[in-house]
Structure 1
Amino acid sequence: MRGKIKISAIKAFFIAVGILLVISDPQLSFSQSGLKLWYQQPAVKWTDALPIGNGQMGAMLFGRVDEDHIQFNEQTLWTGGPRVYARARASKYLPIIRKLLVEGKQAEAESIAQEHFMGMKSHELTYAADSIAWYKKMRLDTSASAAEFDNSKWKFITQPEANGWETFPGFEGLDGAVWLRNSFDLPANMADKDLELDLGRVRDIDFTYVNGKLIGTTNNTTSRKYLIPAGLLHPGKNTIAIQVLNFYDKGGLTSAKEKPAIYQKDAPQISIILKTVWKYWVQNDEPPAYPRYNADYQPFGDVYLQFPKQQVSNYTRDLNLNTATAHVNYNADGITYSREYFASAPDHVIAIHLTASKPGSITFKALLKTLQRSYNIYKVDNSTLALSLKVNDGVLKGVSYLHAVAAGGKVDVDSNSITITNANEATLYLTAATSFKNYKDVSGDPDAICKNTIAKFSGKNYSDVKTAHIKDYISYFNKFAINLGTTANDTLPTNKRILAFSNTADPALIALYVQYGRYLLISSSRSGGQPANLQGLWNDLLTPPWGSKFTTNINLEMNYWPAEELNLSACSEPFFNMVDGLAQAGKITAKEHYDAPGWVLHHNTDLWRGTAPVNSSTHGIWVSGGAWLCHQLWEHYLFTKDEAFLQNRAYPDMKGAAEFFVHFLTKDPKTGYLISTPSNSPEHGGLVAGPTMDHQIIRDLFKNTIQAAAVLGIDYKFSDTLKTMYAQIAPNKIGSHGQLQEWMEDKDDTADTHRHVSHMWGIYPGTDITWDTPELMKAGRQSLIYRGDEGTGWSIAWKVNLWARLKDGDHAMRLFDMLLSPADVSSGKEKGGVYHNLFDAHPPFQIDGNFGGAAGLAEMLLQSQGSTIEILPALPSALPDGNVKGICARGGFVLSFKWDKGQLKNVEVTSKAGGICKLRYHDKVIIFNTQKDKTYHFNGFLSKV
């Protein structure tokens, strides 16, 4: 932080420190310095902005000087609504699909499954008729195709763009009918030649005209190459007009590599490159709602703060992970201006506090905006502005209040904005709510919720709100600390540290990245709310990548990998709530699609708890999502030893998932083993019988359910059934290349570098393959080598954990280094790594890599997946010195330890539940009894001290 520090800020700091000392465990209360992301310029792109969140609301802070931008989300604002996802009586096609797979007719099986076995889409029953009617209506007016048409009042747009016209402000979420017009000059020597117009890809239907004559139309996303017959063109100016009918997602010309051009058929080297600036007219922006398998997470709105123009110096922008507060500071005209931002969970608001070193210097206008089409902005009272909206293509309504408090000066509120003039300091409190109550009920009153939230601020001052926020936040954050050493790079701005990381050792950046992952989980997943989705809590797009859903064939689960080990167990509560809901919704899918008891979940879900197969039969019919979620229920029990949780929440869901597989597993006619069919190895190889990953997960589910029943002393008969079937499930197999087979058949391609490493599930996060079977661990290692190190962000993070389980710390760290490589490269092509704000790049942004990477570092330092807690099992040579406090192990143990020059120096173990602890460091193993809440101290040789 630069400039003068105000007395109120100093007071708040000491209050915060006092809170820290009161609530922290003494063994954890040590300095965590350097935990700050900071920059010397405002954010340019969304992935430069800094995230804050309180579990319910999230915001991205741009920190701009003349017009600051705070883009915000509310976790329950999604498209869609309560509906039926399962396809009635799809189960009658199950025997047919299975038979085709046995016969080796994969393509036929996929075709039947796509037509009859996939889940229901929204609007599926009405879309065909509605879209035909809309299509005919759009084609009634083609006057804009005429060569002489007057387009002088049309606006300009750049085409092509890889993301279509949605790249441009004002076009976000635009679907419908749009006309594009361009012109080119034709040399006289080409006028009598057959020419070819190459437009590249267009989304979705185009009608392309040259000089008023239709030369081609296509209804898909392939490249358009249309013949322009000799004689249609004339020397000089010629016109191109394209009517694009876009039903969903990207629209317009979307080729990224080539530029649209006109070629001479008999001499393609002769060409005319079209101008990239086109004129456009939106003919209609209300096409019928497009059928969707899943709903999309939505941006709620934006706050803009408009300031007087100033010449600025000494600008800094930061996010402090120790207090979950962000700041902007700069000097102008001899005055130091400061802004502070945070998202308060206790008070359910995002707070923005503005101060200046000279009284009366705070003057700005605050505006509320939204990308949603149906909205209203209005004055609530003399201090509050409101935004109400209805989500596009969905049933949900939302309301946001922006409440202003100023010391000195004047506050004016009209129907569009809040203006604060000549204040000494000012605070804005932003809150938002929707009509969502649960996945079956959307009868909530968001206006009443917002009104009640803001009413509670009467009599509160800013320091009270900030103090409550910090006290709440550090009760989570300060349970864990890590120190890996420092270097000169610690003082660099974060964007420069990222660029320098590949060439200069910066262990503190690794520690920062781990703690940033914890910060993001605390910010995006709180009790009573929704779990972190593909982007956690943050999204600025109406059509976000992959819908910003909950993808359950790796991504949702990865979001919660660090929760237990990095001492954030409480942040898993939304995840558990989701599993409970999916277990209920999944019963319908199990019945309709498989005629089975219990519950099933496929590879994606959303706010409305859809559990049916979605997208494509080549990868959407994957039956193990629910079983994988149950693995993490059992993990929570292992880390906490909470029998009440096991009895009341985990076991019922685990048993229901196991009941499904008892019915679903089928004897393979070739081998006699029980196999999972139909399914796939996510998202690789198409629809198959018996993918390795399924069998690993199902064995894990059966084993854990058996153990849970034993702990609770119930369901002995059901456990016997599971034990019998467990022994009959197709085993892991080693193939001809020494690899762990991904499928029943030995068909792995050693040159295949697919991003999913699904058959490694049994090594991590599962325990189907351990060092008790070294030959399988060796085969898994061989498969990882064949797959290669490169990948998307989350894929790299998974491999970090796998190499750690293989106890190859240097290889794990090599991949961790890749996670911290810059995603924004000079060529303009993004890659896996991190953006300037340390968000993980798939690309584009997906938060799972942040969480998976944090878990991977923990896995290098501590492993407890067996009966033993192993310290420093995969310590990389790049981290010879360090200490960690508050890392958790299965069995209900919390450890703190230090190492120096690669050797353990001391360790303390706190038992949260009592019981036997088995501790390993290298070849030394000790076993000792523990008492609940007692701490045990050992030296580097595991001798008690």
Structure 2
Amino acid sequence: MISGDYGNDLIFSDKPASEWALGYPLGNGRTGAMVKGKVKAERIALNHDLLWRRFMDRPEKKTAALLPEVRRLCAQGRWDEAQDLFLTRVPETGHALYINPFVPFCDLGLFLHHKGGEITNYRRQLDMKRAVVTVEYDAGQRHYRREYFCSFPAGLFFVRVTCSAMGCLGGEVSLSRLPDPDCEITGCSSPGLILLEGLFEEGVRFAARARVYQKGGRLTNGIRTYQPPPGKIPPPDTGGIVFDFRDETQKFEPCGVSTCFDAADEVLIAVALATDDEADCPPEALCDRKIEALGDVFPDTQALLEQHAADHGQFYGRAGLFIGGGSVGETADTLVERAAAGDVDNALYGLLYHMSRYLAIAAGRPQLRGGAPKSPINLQGLWNQDRRPAWDCDYHLDLNLQMSYWGLDAANLGDLMEPLTAWIRRLLPQARACAADIHGCGGILLPATCDNKTPGNIDNIGYCFTAAAAWLAQVLWIHYDYSRDETFLKNDLYGFLKEIAAFYDDFLILDDKGRLVTCPSCSPEMGIMGRTKWSVLSSASSMDLELIREVYEHLLEASARLGVDAGLQASWSQTLAKLPLPPISAEHGLEEWLEPHEPYDPGHRHRSHLVGIVPGGRITPEDTPEYAQAVRKALEYRLAEGAGSSASFSCVTDAMIFARLYDAPAALEQLRQTVERHVMENLLTAICDWRGRGESLAWFNGRKVFQIEAGLGLGCAIAEMLLQSRRGVIRLLPALPGEWKDGSFFGLCAAGGFEAAAKWAGGKLEQAKIISKFGGPCRVMPFRAEWPLTVWLEGAKIRADVSGGVLSFETKAGGRYTLRPAENGENR
């Protein structure tokens, strides 16, 4: 394949991170760490994917009996009265607890004693290829180096500290947790060992162990019994959406419990974290097991590091991307600072693609079979330092969770879908109860917000939104379409689709035109003008119509593939025949609702009505040109209303849409806007306009609030400009910008079980290679290519047919095919 070390797997800075949101993230799917790289007093915020509060269960709403009257009022256009009716049973948005929050685990403190000398030659680096953060600097004549990594094989977080001068390492290591009135922390220490245990008021227990190994020198006592960190203890929660962000202005000093080392040649810190969900033993016992597995003598640190890097590389090394014409050797800070001023360097696009895949692996990697279930990627992935983070780091099912997962198969990371699938499976019994409780229907209903164990509370927005499960099903079908995993289809996806259809079999009603529609409905989070109270309640949304159509179409296909439920196919087909398609208007293009409504915010951050093109596959320029044009008009209408209502995920979605319309300049412009407005100096994405430039939502008063879905979506958008696969056709370089004159990629995947690589120069395709995992026909639509193209297998040209700009050829399982322009004199 066209592969190799592209040399764009490193991001680095010449200064420590000034705040948590700018740190470098590490993770093994279970343990997360954010490294700021402070020289003298380093606070490493640690997380565990299973540490969520459990103070609430899903509250029953008992709104099913209201549904007939709500529908009668909606049919008469009495929207305010309909909302007033269901507001007797559900709260208004913002006035309720929705889910149990994902909370910080603890902080690892590292306080190094430098024996004089100015700090110079500082460098902080994240090697995404090896999943290692390195901090290096000189203090006087001595060179200090720290390496941080979260090892999956060992199940531990490590910090290795070395110095160029023997016997010169001295310092203190601590474990502590932020002030929290809801959590009791205890701890103790002895030379070289630190123990910390936590107990939330509802009974959630967790524990941490830190073992300090040293070569040379000695280990001594530090703080032996737990001393809380300084700072104001926040008041207990009073309910509702009350975010409690950490105050980072407080000086970080030794606290909690600690141990010290002195005159050492080398130091290794190993940290184990565990929760009461993780094993059938107390969390402290599980921590002890992990630490004891290292032994009592100084472990072979280099072997641990190489084992970790090789293990991470089996995921990360599957794909790569290089875009020529970029700068070399610049800090990420400099690249982002230039981008914020409008000068987006090509080097950033390759780095952002690799960061997208890196974050997905670090936050979403499945755990070992038979172990504790892995929580899916949450709003901040695996990282959080706040007692009540933004939206409690929940699972938002009206875009955010779906965007985090819909591009993983194309990125050659389809095996990361397993935690999402397993989480859905665990929620099904509660989702059945939701369907019956809220709307009196069979099947399943998932609310718009969930935590790792519980469907969330609903408000006046959530009451109207029924499409969360259908959107997850769309993402899972994408996974099936790429993987062709028949076991997954049979054991997971097909049953999920049937449960969703069972809900809509009961929920859909015939309107006065004989169409099956949803009522109540909404376009997620989009208010409607002319109401006495803010309201999303609407006629059937285009999003509902697109996603429900996919559910029944995929049921029919899956039923045929599996050879089951032939007797249900007629019913499903009849439902499909009565489902209307989203309407198109001359003014707005693809409309947001089946009936006319005036949007409260025409520039709204969501693009829910365009779900049929991204991430869906119904709409393509070739197959549905009228709808493709309607999508363009709808998006241009949204963008014309200004950026003040957009968020990071808005720009990313827009880039994907324009890429699927083959509009390379517009797609690149949306990527540029994402980078200019939302990418921080560590290449993580902030959801809002923290610079105060009026370019996107101005929530949080200038605070940098990291959310992961746009970062994962960025990688997907970049890949979509280079490779797409919809409706059985692989599109090569479909939205290649003129600014990306030269480049290459390898390891990108296409639906049907294909893997592709390509190289282009001067804006023209030079060569592409395709691996067929399962065999069968391959259909390729090359863009930016000199025709005719020839297809080669094992050095021999094979037959390929051309029709409508699509190159078609038969493949065998495991076959590696090369596509290139015919050379002069070659038999074409």
Q: TM > 0.5 between the two? A: yes
Deviates most, 858-867 or 76-85:
76-85
Q: Letter of the 1:375 partner, please give it.
A: E
Could you tell me how far apart the structure 2 residues matched to 1:808 and 1:751 are? 26
Q: Which residue of 2 aligns with 1:773?
A: 624
Q: Is the 8 A contact 2:3 2:746 kept in 1?
A: no
Could you tell me how far apart the structure 1 residues matched to 2:176 and 2:827 are? 62
- Assess, with a 3 A threshold, how the Cα gap between structure 1 residues 904 and 941 changes in structure 2: closer, same or farther: farther
Could you tell me how far apart the structure 2 residues matched to 1:773 and 1:444 are? 57
1:322 equivalent among 113, 126, 129: 129
- Assess, with a 3 A threshold, how the Cα gap between structure 1 residues 32 and 81 changes in structure 2: closer, same or farther: farther
The correspondence of residues 644-683 of structure 1 with structure 2, limited to 5 A, is 644-669=487-512, 671-683=513-525
Could you tell me how far apart the structure 2 residues matched to 1:312 and 1:293 are? 47
1:524 equivalent among 345, 350, 363: 363
Could you tell me how far apart the structure 2 residues matched to 1:558 and 1:429 are? 34
- Residue 584 of structure 2 aligns to a residue whose secondary structure is coil
Give how far 1:769 is off. 2.4
Q: Which residue of 2 aligns with 1:252?
A: none
RMSD value, Cα: 2.2
Q: Which residue of 2 aligns with 1:356?
A: 163
Give how far 1:645 is off. 1.2
- Residue 864 of structure 1 aligns to a residue whose secondary structure is strand
Could you tell me how far apart the structure 2 residues matched to 1:838 and 1:879 are? 20
- Residue 590 of structure 2 aligns to a residue whose secondary structure is coil
Q: Which residue of 1 aligns with 2:795?
A: none
- Residue 407 of structure 2 aligns to a residue whose secondary structure is helix
The correspondence of residues 311-460 of structure 1 with structure 2, limited to 5 A, is 311-371=118-178, 372-373=180-181, 374-379=183-188, 382-391=191-200, 394-414=202-222, 415=224, 416-436=257-277, 445-458=282-295, 460=299
Q: Is the 8 A contact 1:57 1:75 kept in 2?
A: yes
Q: Which residue of 2 aligns with 1:297?
A: 102
1:603 equivalent among 448, 452, 455: 448
- Residue 635 of structure 1 aligns to a residue whose secondary structure is helix
Q: Is the 8 A contact 2:2 2:744 kept in 1?
A: no
- Residue 616 of structure 2 aligns to a residue whose secondary structure is coil
Q: Is the 8 A contact 1:907 1:938 kept in 2?
A: yes
Q: Is the 8 A contact 2:758 2:765 kept in 1?
A: yes
- Residue 514 of structure 1 aligns to a residue whose secondary structure is helix
The correspondence of residues 147-158 of structure 1 with structure 2, limited to 5 A, is none
Percent of aligned positions that are identical: 28
Q: Which residue of 1 aligns with 2:692?
A: none
1:710 equivalent among 541, 545, 560: 560
Give how far 1:443 is off. 7.0
- Residue 294 of structure 1 aligns to a residue whose secondary structure is coil
Q: Which residue of 2 aligns with 1:546?
A: 391
Q: Could you tell me which runs of 5 or more consecutive residues in structure 1 were left unpaired when the two chains were aligned.
A: 1-26, 122-248, 250-289, 822-831
Give CA deviations for 1:712-749 in whole Å, capped at 9, x if unaligned. 11111222211110111122111240421101223355
The correspondence of residues 20-99 of structure 1 with structure 2, limited to 5 A, is 27=1, 30-81=4-55, 83-87=57-61, 89-99=62-72
Deviates most, 72-81 or 27-36:
27-36
Could you tell me how far apart the structure 2 residues matched to 1:595 and 1:96 are? 13
Give CA deviations for 1:806-860 in whole Å, capped at 9, x if unaligned. 1111101101011111xxxxxxxxxx41112111111222111101111111111
Would you say 1:742 and 2:617 are equivalent positions? no
2:662 equivalent among 807, 810, 824: 807
Give how far 1:609 is off. 2.4
Give how far 1:682 is off. 0.5
Give how far 1:877 is off. 1.5
Q: Which residue of 1 aligns with 2:232?
A: none
Give how far 1:395 is off. 3.2
Could you tell me how far apart the structure 2 residues matched to 1:91 and 1:749 are? 28
Could you tell me how far apart the structure 2 residues matched to 1:486 and 1:56 are? 38
Give how far 1:711 is off. 0.9
Q: Letter of the 2:433 partner, please give it.
A: I
Q: Letter of the 1:707 partner, please give it.
A: E
- Assess, with a 3 A threshold, how the Cα gap between structure 1 residues 28 and 303 changes in structure 2: closer, same or farther: farther
Could you tell me how far apart the structure 2 residues matched to 1:376 and 1:395 are? 13
- Assess, with a 3 A threshold, how the Cα gap between structure 1 residues 604 and 37 changes in structure 2: closer, same or farther: same
Q: Which residue of 2 aligns with 1:560?
A: 405
Q: Is the 8 A contact 1:399 1:432 kept in 2?
A: yes
Could you tell me how far apart the structure 1 residues matched to 2:579 and 2:343 are? 49
The structure with more radius of gyration: 1
Would you say 1:763 and 2:763 are equivalent positions? no
- Assess, with a 3 A threshold, how the Cα gap between structure 1 residues 432 and 919 changes in structure 2: closer, same or farther: same
- Assess, with a 3 A threshold, how the Cα gap between structure 1 residues 903 and 748 changes in structure 2: closer, same or farther: farther
Give CA deviations for 1:47-79 in whole Å, capped at 9, x if unaligned. 221111110011111111110111111111112
Q: Which residue of 2 aligns with 1:101?
A: 74
- Assess, with a 3 A threshold, how the Cα gap between structure 1 residues 91 and 939 changes in structure 2: closer, same or farther: same
Q: Which residue of 1 aligns with 2:335?
A: 497
Give how far 1:383 is off. 2.8
Give how far 1:322 is off. 1.3
Could you tell me how far apart the structure 1 residues matched to 2:91 and 2:725 are? 39
The correspondence of residues 854-893 of structure 1 with structure 2, limited to 5 A, is 854-893=715-754
Q: Is the 8 A contact 2:8 2:322 kept in 1?
A: no
Give how far 1:90 is off. 2.2
Give how far 1:602 is off. 2.1
- Assess, with a 3 A threshold, how the Cα gap between structure 1 residues 944 and 55 changes in structure 2: closer, same or farther: farther
TM-score, normalised via structure 1 length: 0.75
Give how far 1:610 is off. 0.9
- Residue 273 of structure 2 aligns to a residue whose secondary structure is strand
Give how far 1:584 is off. 2.7
Could you tell me how far apart the structure 2 residues matched to 1:49 and 1:708 are? 45
Q: Which residue of 2 aligns with 1:111?
A: 84
Q: Which residue of 2 aligns with 1:792?
A: 647
Q: Which residue of 1 aligns with 2:306?
A: 467
Give CA deviations for 1:70-97 in whole Å, capped at 9, x if unaligned. 111111111225734443x321111121
Give how far 1:100 is off. 1.5
Give CA deviations for 1:395-431 in whole Å, capped at 9, x if unaligned. 3111011111111111224522110111100010112
Give CA deviations for 1:326-374 in whole Å, capped at 9, x if unaligned. 0110111201000000111111111100000111111010111102443
Give CA deviations for 1:75-130 in whole Å, capped at 9, x if unaligned. 1111225734443x3211111211111111212222222222569x9xxxxxxxxx
Q: Is the 8 A contact 2:526 2:600 kept in 1?
A: no
Could you tell me how far apart the structure 1 residues matched to 2:667 and 2:827 are? 31
Deviates most, 36-45 or 453-462:
453-462
Q: Is the 8 A contact 1:28 1:481 kept in 2?
A: no
Give how far 1:932 is off. 1.3
How many residues in Structure 1 have an aligned counterpart in Structure 2? Answer: 731
Could you tell me how far apart the structure 2 residues matched to 1:629 and 1:412 are? 53
Q: Is the 8 A contact 1:32 1:322 kept in 2?
A: no
Could you tell me how far apart the structure 1 residues matched to 2:461 and 2:428 are? 24
Give how far 1:944 is off. 11
Q: Letter of the 2:409 partner, please give it.
A: E
Q: Is the 8 A contact 2:185 2:199 kept in 1?
A: no
Q: Could you tell me which runs of 5 or more consecutive residues in structure 2 were left unpaired when the two chains were aligned.
A: 225-256, 368-373, 528-535, 689-704, 784-803
2:427 equivalent among 582, 590, 604: 582
Q: Letter of the 1:836 partner, please give it.
A: E
Give CA deviations for 1:761-812 in whole Å, capped at 9, x if unaligned. 1111112323322111111111100111732101111111111111111101
Deviates most, 542-551 or 746-755:
746-755
TM-score, normalised via structure 2 length: 0.85
Give how far 1:582 is off. 2.5
Q: Is the 8 A contact 1:58 1:74 kept in 2?
A: yes
Q: Letter of the 2:582 partner, please give it.
A: N
Could you tell me how far apart the structure 2 residues matched to 1:349 and 1:34 are? 27
Q: Letter of the 1:410 partner, please give it.
A: R
Q: Which residue of 2 aligns with 1:894?
A: 755
Q: Which residue of 2 aligns with 1:214?
A: none
Could you tell me how far apart the structure 2 residues matched to 1:632 and 1:944 are? 43
Q: Which residue of 1 aligns with 2:243?
A: none
